[in-house]
């Protein structure tokens, strides 16, 4: 047997064909008309033995610019944060790693408790009353928030800031199309949502204002001011927040948000190749019964012992489709566990310390890069968390600079011209606690040399 994961032997194949009553594998396809059958050999390489395959895959993986060999200044939704070793140790245990949906609480108490802890952490961070057992990612959580608002207010318009992550806005538009909702995008100015344009866009037909803070440019929005605009017209306020920033910033729930969503990736979840991740979704108590997904609840058994159960499952798999609040049919339990272990490991002060490092290092990097000839900070008046925008000299292409940076051991920032035509030549730079002062200085020196 050449492959341990392909245990089928030639004798097994022969026995199965004999049992079916055919002579060869080709006989299984005789019902497919000859004219539409592909009768040539597939253009793939010959089968490799296991050692050959491992060598080939290692060679391919060696071409990746990973965080172990490159200093990353790329964020835009996926960040290079420290991953405590204990996170991988706990989530790799078989009782978690192989667990599926805990439909049977009597044999799923460990999994249910882990999800309950995740919900509790999210409520404490966001200042909200209730959180669900997690979502697929932050982008789909934002779209679901828009759908909840439309159902709750019976209104058809979503007002979305263009400072929200462009991929999240695309998901919102896709979801809204299926629900028959109108999406109105409000421009940004100075790195934050244009307050006047927002006020003009919100009216009595607005179901929700969708905001991100810190936004896609890393800038911190005036949530309290926007809350007044949204609620004045009877709309809900939805805030998408980087949870790492909540170690320092006032929770959106304390500022009047009705729904707070986001991506838990900064909490012990590897960036991998852009996913998978884990979205969080928290609401004021008033909207609890409209939440998508599910909630794990705490109760007691007949002997008075604490126990956990799935509750409030308002999805179409469990109730009549026309009564369902969402067609979300699962949650990212394993990745939510990563976040729970991370937060348990760091603790309240640890999270505050990591958040502070993100602020301090990113601000040092902004000052250092602004000293490079021809580089400016176009949104310099706005407060930011761990990402900021730099403008390169006129005519310099961000993709060309990033290619050169990669050759020097740096993963450069996000080319904002890919998502915002008006920001061609602008780079979104992320600096987390992982970056050292030497790396930041070397990055600035390398950029200066390239320019």
Q: Residue 293: what pLDDT?
A: 84
pLDDT band at 2 (very low <50, low <70, confident <90, very high): low
Lowest mean pLDDT among 122-126, 238-242, 331-335, 410-414: 331-335
- Strand 414-415 and strand 130-131: the pairing is unpaired
Q: Residue 8: what pLDDT?
A: 78
Shared-domain flag, residues 113 and 91: yes
Shared-domain flag, residues 127 and 219: yes
Share of the chain above pLDDT 70, in %: 96
Shared-domain flag, residues 189 and 323: yes
Shared-domain flag, residues 248 and 103: yes
**Is the Cα torsion angle 25, 27, 32, 35 positive or negative in sign?**
positive
Is pLDDT above 70 for 45?
yes
CA distance 77 to 167: 10
Write down which residue in 341, 368, 385 finishes a domain: 341
Q: Is residue 168 part of a domain?
A: yes
Shared-domain flag, residues 324 and 387: no
Q: Is residue 63 part of a domain?
A: no
pLDDT digits (tens, 9 = 90+) for 340-390: 999 999 999 999 999 999 999 999 999 999 999 999 999 999 999 999 999
Cα atoms found within 13 Å of the Cα of residue 283, Cβ hemisphere only:
23
Lowest mean pLDDT among 35-44, 193-202, 298-307, 431-440: 35-44
Shared-domain flag, residues 225 and 336: yes
What does the mean pLDDT of the chain come to?
A: 93
CA angle 307, 311, 314 (to 5 degrees): 170
Q: Residue 248: what pLDDT?
A: 97
pLDDT band at 426 (very low <50, low <70, confident <90, very high): very high
Shared-domain flag, residues 357 and 337: no
Strands of 132-287, DSSP E? 157-161, 182-186, 188-189, 192-193, 206-212, 236-240, 259-263, 279-283
Shared-domain flag, residues 357 and 331: no
Share of the chain above pLDDT 90, in %: 78
Shared-domain flag, residues 272 and 195: yes
Lowest mean pLDDT among 11-20, 77-86, 223-232: 11-20
**Is the Cα torsion angle 108, 110, 113, 114 positive or negative in sign?**
negative
Q: Is residue 18 part of a domain?
A: no
Shared-domain flag, residues 156 and 262: yes
CA distance 62 to 74: 19
Asked if residue 318 lies in contact with residue 339, where contact means CB atoms within 8 angstroms, the answer is no
Number of domains, the chain: 2
Shared-domain flag, residues 308 and 377: no
- Exposed, middle or buried, 405 (CB in 10 Å: 0-12/13-18/19+)? buried
Q: Is residue 50 part of a domain?
A: no
Report in angstroms the alpha-carbon separations of 6 from 2, 3, 10, 95, 226: 8, 5, 11, 26, 58
Shared-domain flag, residues 330 and 352: no
Asked if residue 133 lies in contact with residue 311, where contact means CB atoms within 8 angstroms, the answer is no
Is pLDDT above 90 for 86?
yes
Q: Is residue 77 part of a domain?
A: yes
Write down which residue in 341, 365, 396 finishes a domain: 341
Write down which residue in 302, 317, 341 finishes a domain: 341
CATH of the domain at 389: 3.90.1150.10
pLDDT digits (tens, 9 = 90+) for 169-181: 999 999 999 999 9
The parent domain of residue 141 ranges over 85-341
């Amino acid at each position: 047997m050449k492959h341990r994961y392909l245990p089928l032997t030639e004798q097994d194949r022969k026995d199965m064909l004999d049992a079916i009553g055919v002579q060869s594998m080709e006989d299984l396809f005789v019902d497919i008309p000859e004219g539409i059958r592909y009768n040539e050999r597939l253009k793939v390489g010959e089968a490799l033995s296991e050692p050959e395959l491992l060598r080939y895959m290692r060679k391919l993986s060696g071409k990746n610019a990973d965080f172990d060999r490159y200093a990353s200044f790329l964020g835009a939704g996926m960040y290079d944060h420290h991953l405590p070793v204990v996170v991988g140790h706990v989530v790799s245990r078989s009782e978690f790693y192989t667990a599926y949906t805990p439909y049977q609480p009597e044999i799923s108490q460990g999994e249910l408790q882990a999800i309950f802890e995740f919900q509790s952490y999210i409520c404490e961070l966001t200042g909200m009353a209730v959180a669900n057992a997690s979502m697929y990612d932050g982008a789909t959580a934002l779209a679901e928030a828009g759908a909840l608002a439309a159902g709750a207010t019976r209104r058809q318009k979503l007002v979305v800031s263009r400072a929200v992550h462009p991929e999240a806005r695309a998901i919102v538009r896709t979801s809204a199309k299926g629900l028959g909702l109108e999406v109105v995008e409000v421009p940004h100015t100075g790195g934050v949502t244009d307050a006047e344009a927002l006020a003009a866009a919100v009216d009595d037909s607005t179901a929700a204002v969708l905001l991100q803070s810190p936004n896609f440019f890393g800038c911190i929005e005036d949530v309290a001011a926007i809350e007044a605009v949204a609620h004045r017209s009877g709309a809900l306020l939805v805030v998408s927040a980087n949870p790492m920033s909540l170690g320092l910033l006032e929770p959106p729930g304390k500022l009047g948000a009705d729904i707070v969503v986001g991506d838990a990736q900064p909490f012990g979840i590897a960036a991998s190749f852009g996913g998978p991740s884990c979205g969080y979704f928290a609401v004021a108590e008033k909207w609890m019964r409209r939440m998508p997904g599910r909630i794990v609840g705490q109760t007691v058994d007949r002997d008075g012992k604490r126990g956990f159960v799935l509750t409030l499952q308002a999805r179409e798999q469990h109730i009549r489709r026309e009564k369902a609040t969402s067609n979300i049919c699962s949650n990212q339990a394993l990745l939510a566990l990563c976040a729970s272990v991370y937060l348990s490991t760091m603790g309240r002060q640890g999270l505050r310390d990591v958040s502070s490092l993100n602020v301090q290092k990113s601000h040092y990097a902004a000052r250092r890069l602004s000293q490079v000839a021809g580089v400016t900070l176009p949104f310099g008046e706005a407060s930011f968390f761990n990402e900021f925008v730099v403008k390169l000299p006129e005519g310099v292409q961000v993709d060309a600079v990033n290619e050169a940076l990669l050759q020097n051991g740096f993963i450069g920032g996000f080319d904002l011209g890919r998502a915002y035509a008006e920001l061609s030549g602008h780079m979104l730079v992320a600096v987390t606690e992982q970056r050292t002062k030497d790396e930041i200085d070397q990055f600035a020196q390398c950029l200066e040399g390239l320019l």
